[in-house]
Amino acid sequence: MDKEPSDLLIAVCIGISEQQVTFYRRETFLLGDGSWLVHFAFSMPKELRQQLTGSFTLLLRAPRVPGDARQADDA
C-alpha cells in the first residue's frame, strides 16, 4: 500500500461504520514493509473494537510482492 488507508477501507476491515472510524481514529503510521499501523482512541467503545489489538491498533499488512521469498506469518 503506497498511500494511507481511507476511513472507508478501515471501516470495512473491522466491521464498523466509516463515521465511527473518522471519530475514533487517531494516528496512522507507515511501517518499513509497506504495512500501515492505525491507532484508535482509548475512549472507543468495547463493542466497536472487537477486531483491534489490546492496544487499540489495527495492522493493515502490505500485499506480498510476486517473487518475494519471505514466508507469510500465517503460513
Residue spans of the domains in the chain: they are 7-60
pLDDT, position 75? 45
The three cell numbers locating residue 14: 473491522
Distance CA(37)–CA(59), nearest Å, equals: 5
pLDDT, position 8? 97
Q: 3-state SS string over the chain?
A: CCCCCCHHHHHHHHCCCHHHHHHHEEEEEECCCCCEEEEECCCCCHHHCCCCCCCCEEEECCCCCCCCCCCCCCC
Each residue's pLDDT tens digit, 51-64:
998 889 999 998 87
pTM comes to 0.79
